[in-house]
Amino acid sequence: MKPLSEQELSEIVVNAKTPLNIVGGGTWQARNNAEQLYTSGLSGVSLYEPEALTLVAKAGTPLVEIEDLLAKNGQCLPFEPNNLAALQGVKAIPTIGGVVATNASGPRRISAGACRDSLIGVRFVDGNGVVIKNGGRVMKNVTGYDLVKLMSGSFGTLGVLTEVSFKLLPAAQASATVLVFEDEKTCAATMAAALGSPFDVSGAAHIDGITAVRVAGLAGSVEYRAAALASLLDGKIGKFNWQALRDVQAFADQKGDVWRFSVKPSEGPELAAGLRRLGASKIMFDWAGGLLWVLAPTGLDLRKAEYQGHAMLIRGHALPVFQPQPAPVAALEKALRAKFDPKNILNADRMT
Amino acid sequence: MQMPVANAEIIARKAEIVARLRSVLPIDAVIDDPVATKVYECDALSAYRCPPLAVVLPASTIQTAAVLKACHEMGVPVVPRGSGTSLAGGAMPTADSVVLGVARLDQVLETDYENRFIRVQSGRTNLSVTGAVETNGFFYAPDPSSQLACAIAGNIAMNSGGAHCLKYGVTTNNLLGVTMVTMAGEIIELGGAYLGSAGYDLLGLICGSEGQLGVVTEATLRILAKPEGARPVLIGFDSNEVAGACVSDIIRAGVLPVAIEFMDRPVIRAVENFVNAGYPDVKALLIIEVEGSETEIDEQLGKIVKIAKRHNPVELRESGSEAESANIWKGRKAAFGAMGQINDYMCLDGTIPVSQLPVVLRRITELSDEYGLDVGNVFHAGDGNMHPLILYDANKSGDLEKCEAMGAEILKLCVEVGGCLTGEHGVGIEKRDLMYEQFNRDDLEIQMMVKDVFDPKWLLNSAKVFPLTASEARRG
């Protein structure tokens, strides 16, 4: 089914008696054969005010369309959304609604926040078919409960997004990366030193013996900060493929499951060692050591490692995708879901 | 302002309720003397007052859980209170309620510079969070004007902003985790010293829920390394429109200052009379601040000044020293006080799309003439968060009502042009009955369903946020 308006979508949900799988670009394949509900009929930028740093778009709008429009105006989505289609082994064109539903956020998250931090408004159709709006198109808004945050990262289980609004940032006029060649054991300390400096770091990662620290902004400022960081970290200015890291390209053509761990940055290297002992084969660090992308043999349960934080199975079929929550939190989540989707028809196999 | 009729049956049980509270808390943590409870009768929206039944001051999460469980079992409403600086009546009690103050929860629990967070008890004041980390070169970014007094608990409840949120975001963007107690007395942990959540973003939902979903007792906050320096520039224009256009051009040019503050003539004059900041007598004044090293500041200010000059400013003053910077900020920081010296005032908090600035300012001037009440405008121009200050005389019969009516018209205007009722102060009781201007029944119903999940009996701060008619059936 492919509704062409919010109203049509609402009618579909009202009349639905069996589960629906919501499909944006199709990056995240469902594990069941429920009927597909495509959002691609709800597409287009509804409002763009560069001087107010705001953009409103229909949920089915391809991400690339938005990024092109913003680039032409020297602006960008602050959270550097990733594209995991290649990693997932699918030919998908990510939509902005899918970005929001999965809270897809790249390396810049450590300075500019996640998708949920830039998202300022949503419209959605809940599981009763009711059209709901929350937030709006202004960047400061505390009017009523913040369902905007709740919808971001809820994987379509609370409602079908129809329109989303963002605050934007000026695109960086220049950027530079400082490289430090070191073992992964010491990388978290290096990245902590970078983030603990006044030099406004917008990316900090470690892959295969290279720690990379990025600064971005006005040209003169970037030159100054990169030199200062190179001196502070005893590194040198060099090249690093941030987009490849963002999209986890290194694991795309590798066999096995792909996991994402979010932990306290200083605990990243120790967790990595534990994961390797369990059998993980490759590990990359983003978010100053707080995010681990992990390649592991199919079906190996890496949640057996010791860590404080959370782990998500990004690619793989044998194990639960989402980490179970502690009982009191799980009870609240279940009750919320039952309110938003009492028929339990929206992406029923997600977030369980 | 209407408040729900207090439950006489609960008031009649006061002795029994207080005894039960004393059984779960230290002796000095329960206040029931009518003189002493009067201290808690209002917050910074002081036009409205009502002493509570009793006040409790727990000193730990365990005590908070015990007292909430007791109130839940007895069916007694609870009003959480940070430091009582809410401008929206968020902490205003009802006569049948127990005020739960977090003032004794003021400890720093953990500082971690390597992972850039601090964990504090929620009664700690905003400024003292920065105070705890600044010798190590760090700060906590959200900086509401009340930061000397306001508590982190209240910041989280209202999702407080501040002058520097154009760059650093508001409370929700700087909050990593909380320990929260539900109305039933259950302790839950949300988030932590890592990014994101395994499930729904309940942390984001709690932040800004005005103390209606739970009482936050501990918070993990993101701290940031202090920039090397900061410097403001002051630019005066002979019209609001030109000042607004200048703000738009700066943002379009790809420069992102940490703050863009706007003052109009009534505020500029009031400030000059009050603190002699040396402001020029112009129609509109911008204070724009940028951060970084000396060379970075020069680069950014160079661009800003170039843009400003295209708009023929009447005055352009770049700070050349710490003292000059302080002087430029002095007037802005004294603005509310300066207006308060002239008369009583009501401070609005609507946000508008920046593009609508000239239209809205013009309409506010017209409303000021129609109602015969003076208005000054001082606000965060970069993010469109307006703070019109409407002057009135509290001792003059009918003046407050007139002021509220005019305030309501301005807020409706904010919504009409694509904005919202409140950008950083919260709904509280003040804007509760205007909620239908921004939301329809379905939009509000689903929000109330969220409260049903966290607080099924609607005992926690229930007279706030939602129009009383909308929440009536649930409040019982």
Domain ranges of chain A: 6-170, 174-246, 249-315
Mean pLDDT of B391-399: 93
pLDDT above 70 as % of chain B: 100
The CATH number for B230-272+281-333, chosen from 3.30.70.3450, 3.30.70.1290, 3.10.20.30, 3.40.50.300, is 3.30.70.3450
Count of CB contacts below 8 A, A vs B?
261
Write out the CATH class of domain B8-103.
Answer: alpha beta
For residue range B428-456, list pLDDT tens digits in order: 999 999 999 999 999 999 999 999 999 99
Is the separation of the CB atoms in A334 and A147 below 8 Å?
no
Model confidence at A212, in pLDDT bands (50, 70, 90)?
very high
Q: Which residues of chain B does A332 touch, with a Cβ-Cβ cutoff of 8 Å?
A: 188, 202, 453-454
Q: What integer pLDDT is reported at residue B241 of this predicted model?
A: 87
Q: Give strand pairing partners of A217.
A: A174
State how far the alpha carbon of A231 is from the alpha carbons of A178, A225, B228, B299, in Å: 10, 10, 16, 22
* B295 vs A196, A224, A265: nearest CB: A224
Q: Which residue has the tokens 């004794």?
A: B104
Residue contact B446–A198, C-beta within 8 A: no
Q: What integer pLDDT is reported at residue A287 of this predicted model?
A: 98
Q: State whether residue B299 sits within 8 Å of chain A by CB.
A: yes
Q: Judge if A174-246 and A249-315 fold alike in CATH terms.
A: yes
Q: What is the nearest CA distance from B164 to chain A, expressed in angstroms? A: 12
Delimiting residues of CATH 3.30.70.2740 domain(s) in chain B: 343-416
Is the separation of the CB atoms in B98 and B52 below 8 Å?
yes
Mean pLDDT of B264-284: 94
Q: What integer pLDDT is reported at residue A131 of this predicted model?
A: 98
Of all residues in chain A, the one with the smallest CA distance to B226 is: A198
For residue range A303-332, list pLDDT tens digits in order: 999 999 999 999 999 999 999 999 999 999
3-state helix, strand, coil in chain B (%, to 5): 40, 20, 40
Q: State whether residue B338 sits within 8 Å of chain A by CB.
A: no
Q: Which residues contact B336 (CB under 8 A, 6 or more apart)?
A: B145, B345, B347, B378, B389
> B80: exposed, middle or buried (C-beta count within 10 Å: 0-12, 13-18, 19+)?
buried
* A146 vs B137, B159, B353: nearest CB: B159
Mean pLDDT of A168-191: 97
Residue contact B195–A220, C-beta within 8 A: no
Is the separation of the CB atoms in B105 and B122 below 8 Å?
yes
Determine the 3-state secondary structure of B79 from DSSP: strand
CATH number for the domain formed by residue range(s) B343-416: 3.30.70.2740
Model confidence at B419, in pLDDT bands (50, 70, 90)?
very high
Partner A, chain B 49-78, Cβ-Cβ below 8 Å: none
Q: Which residues of chain B does A145 touch, with a Cβ-Cβ cutoff of 8 Å?
A: 205, 208-209, 447, 450-451, 465
Is the separation of the CB atoms in A207 and A285 below 8 Å?
yes
For residue range A216-239, list pLDDT tens digits in order: 999 999 999 999 999 999 999 999
Residue B109 has pLDDT above 80, yes or no: yes
Of all residues in chain A, the one with the smallest CA distance to B114 is: A192
Mean pLDDT of B405-410: 96
Q: Count other C-beta atoms under 10 Å from residue A273's C-beta.
A: 14
Q: What is the nearest CA distance from B331 to chain A, expressed in angstroms? A: 24
**How many angstroms separate the CA atoms of A188 and A205, rounded?**
9
Q: Does A6-170 carry CATH code 3.30.465.10?
A: yes
Residue A56 has pLDDT above 90, yes or no: yes
Residue contact A51–B249, C-beta within 8 A: yes
Residue contact A200–B227, C-beta within 8 A: yes
Q: State whether residue B321 sits within 8 Å of chain A by CB.
A: no
Delimiting residues of CATH 3.30.43.10 domain(s) in chain B: 8-103
Partner A, chain B 387-426, Cβ-Cβ below 8 Å: 418-426
Q: State whether residue B142 sits within 8 Å of chain A by CB.
A: no
Residue contact B200–A196, C-beta within 8 A: no
Residue contact A140–B385, C-beta within 8 A: yes
Is the separation of the CB atoms in A251 and A215 below 8 Å?
no
Partner B, chain A 52-91, Cβ-Cβ below 8 Å: 52-54, 74-75
Determine the 3-state secondary structure of A123 from DSSP: strand
Q: What integer pLDDT is reported at residue B163 of this predicted model?
A: 81
Q: Count other C-beta atoms under 10 Å from residue B266's C-beta.
A: 20
Q: State whether residue A282 sits within 8 Å of chain B by CB.
A: no
Q: Give strand pairing partners of B188.
A: B180
Model confidence at B122, in pLDDT bands (50, 70, 90)?
very high
Structure tokens at A151: 């919808």
Residue B476 has pLDDT above 80, yes or no: no
Is the separation of the CB atoms in B63 and B21 below 8 Å?
no
Cβ-count burial A55-82 (b if 16+ within 10 Å, e if not): bbbbbbbbbebbeebbeebebbbbbbbb
Q: Count other C-beta atoms under 10 Å from residue B9's C-beta.
A: 9
Write out the CATH class of domain A174-246.
Answer: alpha beta
**CA of residue B100 relative to chain centroid, distance:** 19
Predicted interface score ipTM higher than 0.90? yes
Write out the CATH class of domain A249-315.
Answer: alpha beta
Q: Does B108-225 carry CATH code 3.30.460.80?
A: no
